[in-house]
Amino acid sequence: MAQPAAMPVGAAGVAVRQASLREHNLALVLRHIATAAAPPSRADLAGITGLTRATVSALVDDLITGRLLGEVVRTPRSGAGRPALGLTLAGHGPAGLGLEINVDYLAAVLVDLAGVVRHRAVRRIDLRPVPPAEALALVAELITEAGAEADRQDLVLAGTALAVPGLVSATGVVRLAPNLGWRDVDVPALLGGHPALRGRGLSVDNEANLAALGELHAAPPGPANFIYISGEVGIGAGIVLHGTLFRGARGWSGELGHVPVHPEGRPCRCGGLGCLEQYAGQEAMLAGAGLTDEPTPLAGLIEAAGRGEPAARRALVEAATALGVAIAGVINLLDVDTVVLGGVYAPLAGWLAPPVEAEIRRRVLTAAWSPVTVRPALLGGDAAAVGAAGSVVRTVLEQPAQWLARPVH
Amino acid sequence: MAQPAAMPVGAAGVAVRQASLREHNLALVLRHIATAAAPPSRADLAGITGLTRATVSALVDDLITGRLLGEVVRTPRSGAGRPALGLTLAGHGPAGLGLEINVDYLAAVLVDLAGVVRHRAVRRIDLRPVPPAEALALVAELITEAGAEADRQDLVLAGTALAVPGLVSATGVVRLAPNLGWRDVDVPALLGGHPALRGRGLSVDNEANLAALGELHAAPPGPANFIYISGEVGIGAGIVLHGTLFRGARGWSGELGHVPVHPEGRPCRCGGLGCLEQYAGQEAMLAGAGLTDEPTPLAGLIEAAGRGEPAARRALVEAATALGVAIAGVINLLDVDTVVLGGVYAPLAGWLAPPVEAEIRRRVLTAAWSPVTVRPALLGGDAAAVGAAGSVVRTVLEQPAQWLARPVH
DNA sequence: TCGATTTGTTTATCGGTTGAATTATTTGGC
DNA sequence: GCCAAATAATTCAACCGATAAACAAATCGA
């Protein structure tokens, strides 16, 4: 279940018939409406896509009757002629439910087709001592609540995705979530039968991957190429290449935390030596700043850095330098043009970004003529939940024909 | 020109009309014939693709009249019924010309649709003291020769690709080829007008990228995910994900040689510190083994390692360990399942692979349940030239409609 | 109020695929 | 040696989606 929305319509290996043609063009029209700055008219779409106005009309009619689109009057009219009706994504149609389980909180968000967050719930709770089944029972409560909220707002639940800080197999089994203490937890089996899910299944994915998707949603449309770095207790990375999430050959990509930065350096929990996590992980930063005993150590670190505390500043530079070394390796290999600092790195980006950029300049061969941007994440703490919900919405937008033809319950 | 054959037919963003439908299905049928173990019949193809026999027949007819396919009788017949005619890629149709400029040789190969090398030429020459224009004049001779050979064998030149050990821009300009001493050489401008190219243009690409494509061709068909490591004077990498070459956001991917392995280690020509190239590059290996003064140092290294010379063995283990550290980082990030040792690493793979594998086992989180294979390259010295020719052939196979509709000279 | 203009729909046509019927070519049984 | 069964490939009417051009609808400006 960790592979939603990968193949475009008409992808290699599949025979194409007239029906596929329709599917593709439905998706094409819908995508243009979704990414347009202002609600386009049928005529606009015909101009942009190269399809005839007649064809666009037919496609739009299907999408309107399927409750994916709505019509609006465009108030400031320009020039003569019959006024155009603007087309927008329906605010009362399908919505995606995004869930997140993390070390110290649970989150649920409902996102509609337009990407608007229609419902948001967060439970702060330390989940480390909680066994998986109990944690999932708490998630089930969030699902029930979100399902009721969807009904109240006239939204139809199109699907659900769950973000977990760990390695997730293609079938949704959490193979390993070290910081939660989970191992081989079959989440879809335990939670997929929840009545509020309407039998639409539950996809489970890595937290960094889904946060990267959230970032992709939040960023202006275009062929994005970036690496989203999720600094939590561990360090994960979501890699977006050519506007799509890259999951690796077998779904295990993005383990940035265990990229070696000092091959003979500090031993890591994973059995390796000198993994990035040991130098730039949350614990390493706090230890370096001498803040391990604080009640809210992260807030303490931000405050200390703001005060100019030398130990804090030094710890951040050290962490950022290690991060920069690893990222330089990534860029030499993948040539992404943007590095997004997420998770705990986001509020620290002001101090982390300069040393990271310095390492990139030093170590990336092509940096001289292909600049790399380092910036904090656009979304906040529940980025992964928003990204999870967005991933559901994205499948609807990318495969509208499937949604229109869905079995109605 | 460094981006051939990226978009599948019906890719996102393009309106689809009936003609695109045909294009897609032509490619679909052709691909199945190309990857089949034995020549399939029209009926076989109908069964595999899901298209009707009528449709397949129509498509095949187009491909046969366009000289892309041929019919053969399948000798061992099974059971009753009208015997099926096998379909194979034409051996007299389009062919790709692959060229390679490297530090100490030039190479040219002609590859037909079936992937058979129909012509091969190599000139051993030290190109370091030769200015770019003269080197390209030598290449022009190879092109003339190959063009004549194509005519003699009733092959139609479909296109030409050139492999260069350096960074190539999207327009084919060699931005930097340190070991050749080239900088900003506009190869298509200097060579693209050659009459034997038949006005079909010349694409230029990095040597490691094209060698990886060659490896992809040589390997059994399937969704390949590997990193091809090209150890020459520098260290390049061609990354194949889901069966397609990944070139990075802007075409500068694969600079494995400058991934940091010892952040505060030896200074590198690139200005960085502790780049892989300084530990696992050809020069580092030879220096470590004390063989820099030999006339044929590489052969000397292989021989010394075979003899069990301690210095040579030690140098290889050191190089392989550094390589393994960098590769472990790559796998943690990209989760490729195979590492192909190419270039000078290929003949040394017997000694290099075990330490590389050891580092992977130590440092890759998922290695325990997702094994990684390390193996020598299947192709020999002219892998990049074969891959270059193959990349041309691949564009024809992936976009047969374009080939059929080509302007005939 | 009327012409100009632009939007959106209608209608005949075209192109490509489908499915059933037809033709073609072999094997195997009698 | 002939005929039925079996399998391959082609033919042809029908269908479906896109197209192009004509047409209807709605507004602006003179």
Distance CA A245, CA B334 (A): 12
pLDDT of residue A2 exceeding 80, the answer is no
Task: Evaluate whether residue B370 is within a structural domain.
Answer: yes
Beta strands in B82-225 (DSSP E): 85-89, 94-101, 105-112, 117-124, 156-164, 167-168, 173-177, 182-186, 202-206
Which residues touch B16 (CB under 8 Å, ≥6 apart)?
A10, A21, A24, A25, A28, B10
**Residue B294 to residue B313: CA distance in whole angstroms:** 17
pLDDT of B408 > 80? The answer is no
Q: How far is B231 from chain A (nearest CA, A)?
A: 15
B259-273: buried (b, 16+ CB within 10 Å) or exposed (e) per residue? bbbbbebeebebebb
User: Are B22 and B159 contained in the same domain?
Assistant: no
Banded model confidence at residue A156, pLDDT cuts 50, 70, 90? very high
Residue type at B379 in one-letter notation:
L
- Residues A149 and A206 placed together within one structural domain of the fold: yes
Write down the pLDDT at residue A75. Answer: 77
Mean of the per-residue pLDDT values of chain B: 90
Query: Which DSSP symbol is given to A308?
Result: T
| Band of pLDDT at residue A198, cut at 50, 70 and 90 | confident
| Nearest-neighbour CA in chain A from B80: distance (Å) | 29
Residue A109 pLDDT exceeds 80 = yes
- Tell me, yes or no, whether B56 and B82 share the same domain: yes
Instruction: Please judge whether A333 and B167 are an interchain contact, meaning their C-beta atoms are less than 8 angstroms apart.
Output: no
Q: Tell me, yes or no, whether B1 lies in a domain.
A: no
Q: Are A258 and B365 an interchain contact pair (Cβ–Cβ within 8 Å)?
A: yes
- Residue B151 has a CB neighbour count (10 Å cut-off) of 12
Closest CA to A174 of A102, A272, A249, A267: A102
Mutation choice for B interface testing from A24, A52, A246, A332 by most B CBs within 10 A: A332
pLDDT digits (tens, 9 = 90+) for B258-273: 999 999 999 998 888 9
What region does B303 belong to: left with phi over 0, alpha with psi -120 to 50, or beta?
alpha
In this structure, the answer to whether residues B34 and B54 fall within a common structural domain is yes
B17 contact to strand C (CB, 7 A limit):
no
Of the two residues B82 and B62, the one the predictor is more confident about is B62
Q: Quickly state the pLDDT bin for A251 (edges 50, 70, 90).
A: confident
Q: Is the pLDDT of residue B3 over 50?
A: no
The terminus-to-terminus CA distance of chain B in angstroms comes to 22
CB contact under 8 A, A336 and B248: yes
Closest nucleotide to residue B17 (Cα to C1')? D18
Q: How far is residue A282's CA from residue A409's CA, in Å, rounded to a whole number?
A: 46
| pLDDT above 50 (res A112) | yes
Flag whether pLDDT at B165 surpasses 80. yes
Is residue A136 located within the same domain as residue A239? no
Residue A175 belongs to what H/E stretch? strand A173-177
- Residue with the bigger pLDDT between A409 and B215: it is B215
Q: How many CB atoms lie within 10 A of CB A64?
A: 14
Model pLDDT, residue B13: 59
Are A365 and B263 in contact (CB < 8 Å)? no
In this predicted model, which residue has the larger pLDDT, B405 or B187? Answer: B187
- CATH of residue A150's domain is 3.30.420.40
CA of B394 to C1' of D4 (A): 47
Instruction: Determine whether the interchain pair A332/B369 forms a contact, defined as Cβ–Cβ distance below 8 Å.
Output: no
pLDDT in tens, B176-209: 898 899 999 999 999 988 998 888 889 999 999 9
Could you tell me which of B204, B252, B207 has the C-alpha nearest to residue B229? B207
Rounded to an integer, the average pLDDT of A207-211 is 96
- Which bases of strand D have any atom within 7 Å of the beta carbon of a protein residue? 4-12, 16-22, 24-29
Kindly write down the DSSP assignment for every residue of B7-24, as one continuous string: SPTT-TTS---HHHHHHH
Name the token pair of B125. 């020459």
Q: What is the per-residue pLDDT for B304?
A: 93
Per-residue pLDDT tens digits for A289-300 = 998 877 788 889
Q: Is B368 contained in some domain?
A: yes
Domain-embedded: residue B3: no
Query: Based on the domain organization, do B153 and B233 belong to the same domain?
Result: no
H/E element holding B402? helix B400-404
Scanning every residue of chain A, which has its alpha carbon at the shortest distance from the alpha carbon of B269?
A365
Angle B378-B259-A225 (CA atoms, 0-180°, nearest 5)? 90
Task: State how far the Cα of A202 lies from the Cα of A269, in Å rounded to an integer.
Answer: 31
Task: Check whether residue B77 has its CB closer than 7 Å to nucleic acid strand C.
Answer: yes
Q: Are residues B47 and B164 both part of a single domain? A: no
Q: Chain B closest CA to A141's CA: distance in Å?
A: 33
Q: What is the mean pLDDT of residues B97-110?
A: 95
- Please judge whether B329 and A259 are an interchain contact, meaning their C-beta atoms are less than 8 angstroms apart: yes
Å between CA of B406 and C1' of D10: 28
Q: What does pLDDT average to over chain A? A: 90
Q: Tokens 């066994």 appear where? A: A131
Cβ of residue A79 near strand C, that is under 7 Å? yes
Query: Given an 8 Å threshold on Cβ–Cβ distance, is B225 in contact with A326?
Result: no
Q: Is the pLDDT of residue B385 over 60?
A: yes
Average pLDDT, stretch A90-97? Answer: 94
| B144-to-A48, B105, B121, B174, B194 alpha-carbon distances in Å | 45, 18, 12, 22, 8
Query: What's the number of domains chain B is made of?
Result: 3
Who's near B37: CB < 8 A, 6+ residues apart?
Answer: none
Name the percent of chain A lying above pLDDT 90: 73
Least confident range from A269-273, A383-387, B63-67, B123-127: namely A269-273
Same domain, B255 and B369: yes
Choose the closest CB to B332 out of A17, A258, A262: A258
Residue B298 is part of which domain span? Answer: 220-376
Residues B247 and B343 in one domain: yes
Task: Taking residues A172-189, report their average pLDDT.
Answer: 92
Q: Least CB-CB distance to B16: which of A10, A247, A337?
A: A10
Answer yes or no: is B52 CB < 7 A from strand C: yes
| Distance, Å, B85 CA → D10 C1' | 14
First to last CA, chain A: 22
> Which chain B residue has the Cα nearest residue A259?
B329
Band of residue B386 on the pLDDT scale cut at 50, 70, 90: very high
- pLDDT for residue B149 is more than 50: yes
Question: Mean pLDDT, to the nearest integer, of A257-283?
Answer: 93
Select from B268, B292, B295, B279 the least CA-distant residue to B352. Answer: B279
Nearest CB among B225, B248, B262 relative to A334 is that of B248
What residues of chain B lie within 8 A of the CB of A9, using their CB?
A: 10
Q: How many CB atoms lie within 10 A of CB A381?
A: 18
Residue A8 domain-assigned (yes or no): no
What pLDDT score does B397 carry?
94
Q: What are phi and psi of A267, to 5 degrees?
A: -70, 145
Amino acid A273: pLDDT: 93
Q: Given B89, B118, B136, which residue is the final one in a domain?
A: B89
Q: Does B129 lie in the same domain as B61? A: no
Q: How many CA atoms lie within 13 Å of B332's alpha carbon, on the beta-carbon side?
A: 32
To test the contact with chain B by mutation, choose from A334, A370, A397 the residue with the greatest count of B C-beta atoms within 10 A, namely A334
Nearest CA in chain A to B50: A15
Q: Measured between alpha carbons, how far is A389 from A96 in angstroms, rounded to an integer?
A: 5
Across the range B304-327, mean pLDDT stands at: 95
| Residues in CB range of A58: below 8 A, 6 or more apart | none
pLDDT tens digits along A303-359: 999 999 999 999 999 999 999 999 999 999 999 999 999 999 999 999 999 999 999
Q: What is the pLDDT of residue B409?
A: 54
Give strand pairing partners of A173: A186
pLDDT tens digits along A350-405 = 999 999 999 999 999 888 888 999 999 999 888 999 999 999 999 999 999 999 98
Residue A403 amino acid letter: W
pLDDT at A250 over 90: no
Q: Least CA distance to A49: which residue of chain B?
A: B15
Looking at the structure, tell me whether residues A280 and A366 fall in a common domain. Answer: yes
One-letter amino acid for residue B11 of the chain: A
Q: Which of A44-48, A80-84, B279-283 has the lowest mean pLDDT?
A: A80-84
Asked if the structure places residue A293 within a domain, the reply is: yes
CATH number for position B48:
1.10.10.10
With CB atoms and an 8 Å threshold, state whether B258 touches A18.
no
Picking from B51, B275, B333, the nearest residue to A237 by CB comes out as B333
Residue A142 to chain B, least CA–CA distance (Å): 32
Question: CA-CA distance, A161 to A391, in Å (whole number)?
Answer: 7
pLDDT for the residue numbered A5 = 27
CB A83 under 7 Å to nucleic chain C:
yes
Nucleotides of C under 7 A from a protein CB: 3-11, 14-21, 24-28
Residues A121 and A198 in one domain: yes
Residues of chain A in contact with residue B337, where contact means CB-CB under 8 angstroms, are 249-250
Within 10 Å of residue B373's Cβ, how many Cβ atoms?
13
Work out the pLDDT band at B14, boundaries 50, 70, 90: low
**Phi, psi for B186 (deg, rounded to 5):** -90, 85
In a domain, A269, yes or no: yes
Cα separations (Å) of B156 from B67, B90, B111, B408? Answer: 10, 11, 11, 11
Say which nucleotide is closest to residue A26, CA to C1' distance.
D17
pLDDT tens digits for A19-68?
889 999 999 999 999 999 899 999 999 999 999 999 999 999 999 999 99
Whether residue A82 is predicted with pLDDT greater than 50 in this model: the reply is yes
Q: pLDDT band for position B132 (50/70/90)?
A: very high
DSSP states of B244-301 = EEE--SSS----GGGSBSSTTSSB-TTS-BSBTHHHHSHHHHHHHHT-TTSSSHHHHH
Q: Which nucleotide is nearest to A53 (CA to C1')?
A: C8
Quick one: CA dihedral A206, A211, A217, A219, positive or negative?
negative
- State, as a whole number of angstroms, the distance between the CA of B73 and the C1' of D2: 27
How confident is the model over A224-246, as pLDDT tens digits? Answer: 899 999 988 789 999 998 888 99
| Lowest pLDDT segment from A357-366, B70-79, B116-125 | B70-79
The answer as to whether B74 is a domain residue is: yes
- Chain B's closest residue to A52, CA to CA, is B15
CA B76 to C1' C26, in angstroms, rounded, equals 13
Token pair listed for B128 = 């370091």
Chain B residue closest in CA terms to A26:
B15
pLDDT at A4: 29
Mean pLDDT (whole number) for B388-404: 94
- pLDDT of residue B153 exceeding 70, the answer is yes
